[in-house]
């Protein structure tokens, strides 16, 4: 099927890989074609890579059933990601070490594939949603915690492509063991999975982190676990602020759904710790909960010019 007059459309199979779920959708010339699909990252004997293959296969079938031939794959992955080589060097929550993700997807689906760190892909969507914001840090909080640094309108990659691993900054001396091998890492206290695990370990009963958030202010255990998360996150934020001087810190990912329950005490704590200077603005994502998918679609440079036609959610 052709797009308007002449050239065939850009049809991107966009994938956002997380430690709990893998999300995917089809974008045609920058417009999301379907509401998208979500599969568990781990289910039974299946690995995270199996989940990615299953999802991409389903997206390709859907696109073709609607008359569109896929042209590219774009994927955001957690961990240490080398976008140039398409290699996921290390993703603790996925069990990946030196996984040539781009090459494996290209071989399986015969489509050119671009990958990047999941935080950087989401930050692309944030930059497209707010092009005048040129200095910010995007912090997705889900199964883990990471960040993407944008300075002077450009994403900071780092010498080894590893800039932004906020979740593995030790914030609590001799604290909880982390899957990375260190102790007291920020994500062992402030990730959505850590909040839920901490609440249950303290004797609470909850089925999700959202349940814990609803109990804040009503349950002493929830208050304690939430306070630990806010303090760890605030400690990481003041390090970023002192080093980078961002105009804004944008919280995304599943934990951002807590809204004021998270942002109000976080702003207060950051203000207390940054008594020597003004605090940067702290907000939730303007690109919305699908920022990772939009950013994965934007890895196809032909999509970027038509991004203004994409549907975006209000903050």
pLDDT at residue 3 in the model: 47
Q: What is the pLDDT of residues 39-60, one digit of tens each?
A: 999 998 899 999 999 999 999 9
Which regions of the chain carry the CATH code 3.30.420.40? Answer: 11-122+289-309, 131-284
Question: SS3 of 14, please?
Answer: strand
The whole-model pTM stands at 0.87
pLDDT at residue 5 in the model: 53
The secondary structure element, H or E, covering residue 195 is helix 192-201
Q: What is the pLDDT of residues 248-266, one digit of tens each?
A: 999 998 899 999 999 999 9
Confidence of residue 79 (pLDDT cuts 50, 70, 90): confident
Helix axes 48-65, 101-109, angle to 10 degrees: 40
Residue 107 has pLDDT above 80, yes or no: yes
Tokens of 21: 């779920």
pLDDT at residue 2 in the model: 45
pLDDT at residue 305 in the model: 54
Average pLDDT over residues 107-132: 94
Phi and psi (nearest 5°) for 82?
-100, 100
Q: What is the pLDDT of residues 211-246, one digit of tens each?
A: 999 999 999 999 999 999 999 999 999 999 999 999
> In whole angstroms, what is the distance from residue 116 CA to residue 215 CA?
36
Residue 6 has pLDDT above 60, yes or no: no
Q: What is the pLDDT of residues 145-181, one digit of tens each?
A: 999 999 999 999 988 888 888 999 999 999 999 988 8
pLDDT at residue 96 in the model: 94
Tokens of 124: 């692309």
Tell me: domain 131-284, CATH 3.90.550.10, correct? no
CATH of domain 11-122+289-309: 3.30.420.40
> In whole angstroms, what is the distance from residue 226 CA to residue 82 CA?
34
> In whole angstroms, what is the distance from residue 282 CA to residue 236 CA?
13
Check: CB of residue 10 under 8 Å from CB of residue 302: yes
């Amino acid at each position: 099927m052709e797009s308007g007059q002449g050239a065939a459309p850009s049809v991107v199979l966009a994938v956002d890989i997380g430690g709990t779920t893998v999300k995917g959708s089809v974008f045609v010339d920058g417009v999301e074609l379907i509401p998208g699909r979500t599969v568990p990252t781990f289910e039974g004997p299946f690995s995270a890579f199996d989940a990615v293959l299953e999802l991409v296969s389903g997206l390709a079938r859907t696109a073709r059933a609607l008359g569109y031939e896929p042209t590219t794959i774009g994927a955001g992955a957690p961990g240490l990601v080398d976008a140039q080589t398409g290699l996921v060097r290390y993703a603790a929550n996925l069990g990946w070490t030196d996984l040539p993700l781009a090459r494996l997807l290209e071989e399986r689906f015969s489509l050119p594939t671009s990958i990047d760190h999941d935080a950087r892909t989401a930050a692309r969507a944030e930059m497209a949603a707010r092009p005048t914001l040129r200095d910010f840090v995007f912090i997705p909080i889900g199964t883990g915690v990471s960040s993407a640094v944008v300075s002077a309108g450009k994403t900071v990659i780092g010498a080894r492509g590893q800039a932004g691993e906020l979740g593995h900054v030790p914030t609590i001396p001799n604290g909880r063991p982390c899957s990375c091998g260190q102790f007291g890492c920020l994500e062992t206290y402030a990730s959505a999975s850590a909040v839920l695990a901490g609440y249950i370990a303290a004797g609470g009963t909850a089925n999700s982190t959202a349940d814990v958030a609803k109990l804040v202010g009503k349950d002493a255990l929830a208050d304690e676990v939430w306070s630990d998360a806010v303090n760890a996150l605030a400690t990481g934020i003041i390090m970023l602020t002192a080093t980078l001087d961002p105009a804004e810190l944008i919280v995304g990912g599943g934990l951002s759904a807590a809204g004021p329950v998270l942002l109000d005490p976080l702003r207060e704590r950051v203000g207390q710790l940054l008594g020597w200077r003004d605090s940067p603005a702290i907000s939730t994502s303007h690109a919305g909960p699908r920022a990772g998918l939009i950013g994965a679609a934007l890895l196809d440079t032909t999509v970027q010019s038509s991004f203004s036609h994409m549907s975006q959610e209000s903050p």
